[in-house]
């Protein structure tokens, strides 16, 4: 297992929380009502997702603007390049730059259903090219670029070796931070750390933690992204209604146990997939802070 340095173990905890743009006014209201919880955990950034083919980039920016003033954490915008021409992608970057938003999660993504044939589009072929395209801009040095990684291998990857090589290309082209897909067994993450260490990847990495607000929904997500669901987890949620008090308690307990196992080995950056349940995520972060660091030492200067 990769040995975490003593310097990493002494670092302060830092959290990034991923949310999606609400589709309705009521969903937006519920999200905004939860934002005061962020001030107790001081996340380093709030990541706002974008849909397939960049289909809801407008709602991404709208949500980021709604966060302004309501949350002190710096925003990060997801941006996909698949299904969009290079010009369209850079137009989006221009718009974010004009709003002083320079934290980007650069993703290849999948084309939306309306973009079935994209063979004639001059687009970035993969996320590594996309990262290189951002860095080649006149303002490219201003961007903090996060990229995705898959501890259990991307479902479309030819092999584990090819998947790790793809990640290395993203870093070599200028990415700053690795955010992993969610997983549920800590050993999966540590084996992944060993794999990327062997090829010389040294960029900071934040393991992706899924807060299981709806077990059936998470199983559906997992089947699409190649994440495994442990049998013990299926047994714990068996017969429980999504969103019930008992299910929520188990969801928080599982995430906290997972993060604690990672923190015990020196991991200090965490990326939470909240599914807009900040109310479930904040207590997990607070418990980790109480155990591994103090709020005064939290670092919110970098995404």
Asked about 125 being catalytic, the answer comes back as no
Quick: pLDDT tens for 70-99. 778 899 999 999 888 999 999 999 999 999
**Average pLDDT value for residue range 177-201:** 97
How far is the C-alpha of 175 from the C-alpha of 128, rounded, in Å? 8
Of the chain, the percentage scoring pLDDT greater than 90 comes to 77
Please choose, from the candidates 164, 176, 181, 117, the residue with its C-alpha nearest in 3D space to the C-alpha of residue 303: 176
Judged by DSSP in three states, 224 sits in: helix
Helix 25-34 to helix 57-67 angle (10° resolution) is: 40
pTM over 0.85: yes
- pLDDT, mean of residues 198-204: 96
248 forms bridges with which residues in the sheet? none
Q: Which of 3-17, 92-106, 140-154 has the lowest mean pLDDT?
A: 3-17
Pick the closest to residue 52 from 101, 96, 123, 107 (CA basis): 107
State the chain's mean pLDDT as an integer.
89
Q: Which of 70-84, 139-153, 241-255 has the lowest mean pLDDT?
A: 70-84
The residues with which 128 forms a beta bridge, in sequence order, are none
List pLDDT tens digits, range 266-288: 999 999 999 999 999 999 999 99
Contact in structure between 162 and 126 (CB atoms under 8 Å): no
pLDDT of 112 > 80? The answer is: no
Residue with tokens 């987890």: 233
Q: For position 6, what pLDDT does the model report?
A: 37
* Annotated active-site residue in 7, 18, 125, 129: 18
- Which of the listed CATH numbers 1.20.1250.20, 3.40.50.261, 3.20.20.220, 3.60.110.10 matches domain 6-297? 3.20.20.220
At 237 the three-state DSSP class reads helix
**pLDDT score of 301 more than 70:** no
Q: Domain limits of the chain?
A: 6-297
Q: At what angle do helices 86-98 and 57-67 cross, to 10 degrees?
A: 10
Tell me the C-alpha distance between 219 and 195, whole Å: 26
For residue 2, what pLDDT band results from cuts at 50, 70 and 90?
Answer: very low
Give residue 58's pLDDT.
82
């Amino acid at each position: 297992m990769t040995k975490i340095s003593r310097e990493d173990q002494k670092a302060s905890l830092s959290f990034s929380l991923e949310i999606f743009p609400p589709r309705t006014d009521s969903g937006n209201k519920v999200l905004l009502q939860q934002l005061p919880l962020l001030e107790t955990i001081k996340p380093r950034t709030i990541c706002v997702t974008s849909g397939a083919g960049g289909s809801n980039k407008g709602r991404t920016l709208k949500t980021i603007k709604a966060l302004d003033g309501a949350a002190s954490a710096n925003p990060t915008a997801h941006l996909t390049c698949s299904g969009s021409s290079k010009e369209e992608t850079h137009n989006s970057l221009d718009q974010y730059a004009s709003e002083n938003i320079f934290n980007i999660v650069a993703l290849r993504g999948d084309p939306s259903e309306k973009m079935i044939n994209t063979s004639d589009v001059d687009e970035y072929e993969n996320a590594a090219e996309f990262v290189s395209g951002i860095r080649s801009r006149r303002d490219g040095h201003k961007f903090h670029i996060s990229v995705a990684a898959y501890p259990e291998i991307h479902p479309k990857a030819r092999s584990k070796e090819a998947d790790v090589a793809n990640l290395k290309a993203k870093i070599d082209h200028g990415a700053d931070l690795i955010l992993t897909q969610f997983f549920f067994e800590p050993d999966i993450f540590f084996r992944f750390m060993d794999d990327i260490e062997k090829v010389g990847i040294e960029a900071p990495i934040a393991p992706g933690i899924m807060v299981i607000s709806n077990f059936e929904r998470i199983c559906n997500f997992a089947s699409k992204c190649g994440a495994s669901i442990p049998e013990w987890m299926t047994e714990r949620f068996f017969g429980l209604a999504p969103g019930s008090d008992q299910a929520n308690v188990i969801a928080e307990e599982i995430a906290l146990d997972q993060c604690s196992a990672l923190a015990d080995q020196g991991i200090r950056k965490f990326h939470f997939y909240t599914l807009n349940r900040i109310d479930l995520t904040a207590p997990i972060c607070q418990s980790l802070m109480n155990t591994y660091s103090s709020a005064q030492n939290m670092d919110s200067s970098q995404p």
